């Protein structure tokens, strides 16, 4: 603490203050703007009222229930996409017939705006959970397939050759060489697919209803309950960041043995 201070704050603290300034400024501007009634309460309820509302909904159980439904649908669809996507991706890379069949389907299907199929899924699976889960699986399976396919194809040839020269059979080659070394890229595919799943679940809940975070936001909007809409968006934003962070942590845990975790 013998450091000579130039000015009021040390440079690191100045930087930290600057870095948090935009968030603080936005919060203050939101609260102040709403209190001064520059815009009507309906268009922009004050930040404090939105946070109070969020807290009330958490205590009353509305948000935990909605969150549970949304997450259950997200993970049901996401796991289907993950399992199917990895199986299809691996078989595409290893079996010629499968590749012949899926190659045009994947290259046409991957860039499609899959959300347009929503009414067809409603027609086929009804308006309840199944259509939402199927929609999520359909939307997020393509990035997983593409990532797995590329990853299994790009496995280091020398690794495969040395394993083969040690007399490893096809099965062991797949489970002990190909899949582990494809893991990082496959996981990147999953990290792309999870946010897509969440986006699609929320759109499905908004259009078909059925509660969940998207559904309750739409209900609030129809009843012109703007604190409800804003508390919904805050809740969704928090969940989105938590899921993205969680995937990063899982990745670090899962790939602890891999070179990418070394640095």
Partner 1 sequence: MTSENIFVRYLPLALLAVLWEIAPRVHIVDPSELPPLSAVAVAWWSLLLDGDLWTNGVSSFINWSFGLGSSIIVGIALGVMMAWSTTIDDIASPLVKALYPMPKSALIPVMILWLGLGAGSKIASIAMSCLLPVIISAYNGARGVDQTLIWSARACGASNRNVLWEVILPGALPEIMAGIRNAVAISFIVLVASELLVGQKGLGYLISFLGEGGVYDAMFAVVITVSALGFFADRAYLYFMRRTLVWRE
Interface residue list for partner 1 (CB under 8 A): 15, 18-23, 26, 42-43, 100-105, 108, 111-120, 122-124, 195, 198-200, 202-203, 206-207, 213-214, 217-218, 220-221, 226, 229-230, 232-233, 236-237, 239-241, 243-244
Least Å distance between CB 72 and partner 1? 16
Tell me whether residue 150 or residue 173 sits nearer to partner 1 (CB atom): 150
What is the maximum span of the chain, computed from C-alpha positions, in angstroms?
77
Least Å distance between CB 236 and partner 1? 4
36 — phi, psi (to 5°)? -80, -5
Tell me whether residue 184 or residue 195 sits nearer to partner 1 (CB atom): 195
CA–CA separation, 20 and 158 (whole Å): 49
Least Å distance between CB 129 and partner 1? 18
Residues 6+ apart with CB under 8 A from 143: 85, 110, 189, 192, 193, 196
Distances (CA, A) of 10 to 2, 14, 17, 23: 13, 6, 11, 21
Tell me whether residue 27 or residue 87 sits nearer to partner 1 (CB atom): 27
Least Å distance between CB 142 and partner 1? 11
Tell me whether residue 86 or residue 199 sits nearer to partner 1 (CB atom): 199
CA–CA separation, 163 and 173 (whole Å): 7
Tell me whether residue 52 or residue 203 sits nearer to partner 1 (CB atom): 203
Q: 168, 176 in Cβ contact below 8 A? A: yes
Tell me whether residue 80 or residue 118 sits nearer to partner 1 (CB atom): 118
Q: 235, 63 in Cβ contact below 8 A? A: yes
Tell me whether residue 177 or residue 229 sits nearer to partner 1 (CB atom): 229
Q: What is the DSSP letter of 50?
A: H
CA–CA separation, 27 and 203 (whole Å): 27
Least Å distance between CB 19 and partner 1? 5
Residues 6+ apart with CB under 8 A from 263: none
The whole-angstrom distance between residue 161's C-alpha and the CA centroid of its chain comes to 37
Least Å distance between CB 145 and partner 1? 15
Least Å distance between CB 59 and partner 1? 22
Q: What angle do CA 46, 50, 56 make, to 5 degrees?
A: 145
Tell me whether residue 44 or residue 174 sits nearer to partner 1 (CB atom): 44
Least Å distance between CB 78 and partner 1? 13
Q: 188, 143 in Cβ contact below 8 A? A: no
């Amino acid at each position: 603490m013998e450091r000579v201070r130039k000015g009021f704050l040390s440079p690191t603290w100045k930087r930290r203050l600057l870095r948090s300034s935009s968030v603080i400024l936005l919060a203050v501007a939101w609260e102040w703007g709403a209190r001064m009634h520059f815009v009507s309460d309906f268009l922009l309820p004050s930040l404090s009222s939105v946070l109070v509302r969020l807290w009330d909904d958490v205590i009353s159980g509305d948000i935990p229930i909605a969150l549970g439904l949304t997450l259950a649908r997200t993970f049901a669809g996401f796991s289907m996409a993950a399992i199917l996507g990895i199986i299809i991706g691996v078989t595409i890379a290893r079996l010629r017939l499968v590749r012949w069949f899926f190659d045009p389907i994947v290259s046409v299907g991957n860039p499609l705006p899959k959300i347009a199929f929503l009414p067809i899924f409603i027609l086929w699976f009804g308006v309840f959970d199944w259509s939402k889960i199927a929609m999520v699986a359909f939307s997020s399976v393509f990035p997983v397939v593409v990532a797995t396919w590329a990853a299994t194809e790009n496995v280091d040839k020398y690794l495969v050759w040395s394993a083969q020269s040690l007399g490893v059979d096809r099965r062991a080659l797949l489970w002990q060489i190909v899949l582990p070394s494809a893991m990082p890229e496959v996981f990147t595919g999953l990290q792309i697919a999870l946010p897509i799943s969440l986006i699609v679940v929320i759109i499905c809940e908004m259009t078909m209803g059925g509660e969940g975070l998207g559904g309750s936001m739409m209900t609030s909007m129809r009843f012109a309950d703007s604190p409800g809409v804003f508390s919904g968006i805050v809740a969704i934003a928090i969940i989105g960041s938590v899921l993205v962070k969680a995937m990063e942590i899982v990745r670090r845990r899962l790939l602890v043995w891999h070179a990418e975790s070394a640095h």
